[in-house]
Amino acid sequence: MKIGIDKIGMYTPKQYVDLVELAKHRRVDPAKFTIGIGQDKMAVAPLSQDAISMAANAAAKILTAEDKTAIDLVILGTESGVDNSKAGALYVQKLLDLPNRARVLEIKEACYGATAGLQYAKLHILQNPTAKALVIGADIARYGLDTSGEVTQGAGAVALLVSAEPKILALDLATSYFSEEVPDFWRPLNQMIAEVDGKYSNEQYIRFFKETFADYQTKTKYGLNDYAALTFHLPYTKMGLKAMREILPQVDEAKQNELQQHYQQETLYGRQIGNIYTGSLYLALLSLLDNDAILQPGMRIGLYSYGSGAVGEFFSGVLQPEFKAQLDPMYYLDLLAKRQKLALDDYEAQFTAQLDPESENQALTDDDPFAKYYFAGIVDKKRVYKAK
C-alpha cells in the first residue's frame, strides 16, 4: 500500500511589501535582500486573515465533497496559534464542514509542526487505509519592524490531503529525525514577535540537515544520485542552498548542476511570499511541482524539515503517474499577480495594529477574492470566523 500526498493547496493574503522599496526605506542595499537572502516580496496578513482562516482557505482550494466525507484526522501545524488551550484545527473543521467523527488537533514545534502532522497522518492511514487525513501548516512570521529578521517575514498556509494510493507523492516509510534543545529561536508567551539568533540558527539548520541526511543514507542506502530534487524548509530562499552545498561534493558536476537547477524552481513561490514557518517546506514542494517541467513520474524527491529549538527530519517520496493532473499552477500565478502592494507607511501601521482583547465586540471584514473564509472579529471574547 502506498501512502502519501494526494492533493496540495496553498493560500497567501492579498497584500505584500516590495523588498527593494523596504531596503531603500531601511537604508540597506537592495541586493542584500534580493540576492543575499533571495527574497523579492513579503506577504502581509491583514487582521482579517490569521493562521485559522488561512488554513481553511488553503484546504478549501483542494477538497471535494467526497474528500470531506473520508477525512477522519485534521491536524494544524502552527506557531501562530490563537488560543493557549483550544486547537485551531477545530475552527478549521467547522469552517470546512468536516465530519465530527474525527481526531482534530494542533501541533507546535516551530516550523516543524506540519511535518510532525504529516508523519502522524502517514501512520494513521497505514492503520485506516480507507480514510483520509488533512494536514495544514499555517503561520504569520513576525520579527518586528526594522529588525534583522524583518525581511524574512511572511504569511500563508499550505494544506496536504493524505491518503492511501496518493496521486502526487507516495512517501517512503523510512524517515530520519534529530532533536536537541538549542536556543536559536523562541517566542515567549507574552510576545507577538519572535526572538532569533540568526547566525546560530543558520548553523543549526545546516548541522541538523547533515545529521538527518547522513542517517537517511544509512537507513535507506539512497545516495544523492537517487534524488531528482531536494526540497527544503525555506525561511528565506538562500537557506536551503547553503545546506545543499554541504553534500553536493558527493556527486559529479553534472548532477550538482541538475540539483541546483531544480532548487531554483522550488524557490519561486517563496521569493514572492516569504517565510510561512510550518508551511514553508510544502510551499517549496508545491513551487517545484508547479514550475519544474523536467520532473517526471517515478522520480524521487527528498524533503528536509527544520523547526528551530530544534527538530530536523529528512524523508523522501516518489512522484506518481498522475501528479501533474493534480496541480493548478495558473491559479497560483493569478493569485500572486493580483495581490496589492502595500505602501510602507500602511505596512508599518498595520504591523502594530491589533484587536483590543478587553473590548467586548469587534468586527472585521475581508475583500480578498481568493479567500473563502476570514476572521470576522471577537464577540463576547470568542473568536468568530465566517465564510463569504
* Residues acting as catalytic residues: 79, 111, 233
Return the ∠ at Cα 271 (arms to 385 and 76), rounded to 5°. Answer: 35
* Residue 298 Ramachandran class (φ > 0 left, ψ -120 to 50 alpha, else beta): left
- Cell numbers for 231, please give them: 526540497
Burial class, 21, CB count within 10 angstroms (exposed 0-12 / middle 13-18 / buried 19+): middle
Round to whole Å and give the CA distance between 127 and 344: 51
Q: What are phi and psi of 368, to 5 degrees?
A: -75, 120
List the one residue out of 228, 241, 290 whose CA is nearest residue 265: 290
Round to whole Å and give the CA distance between 6 and 160: 7
Round to whole Å and give the CA distance between 183 and 317: 31
The residues with which 274 forms a beta bridge, in sequence order, are 154
Round to whole Å and give the CA distance between 150 and 147: 5
Residue type, 179: S
- Cell numbers for 315, please give them: 524523508
* Dmax (CA) of the chain: 64
Residue type, 213: F
Question: Cell 519592524 maps to which residue?
Answer: 145
Q: What is the DSSP letter of 23?
A: H
Interacting residues of 334 by C-beta distance below 8 A, sequence separation 6+: none
Contact 302, 227 (CB under 8 A): yes
3-state secondary structure of 384: strand
Q: Which helix (H) or strand (E) holds 30?
A: helix 30-31
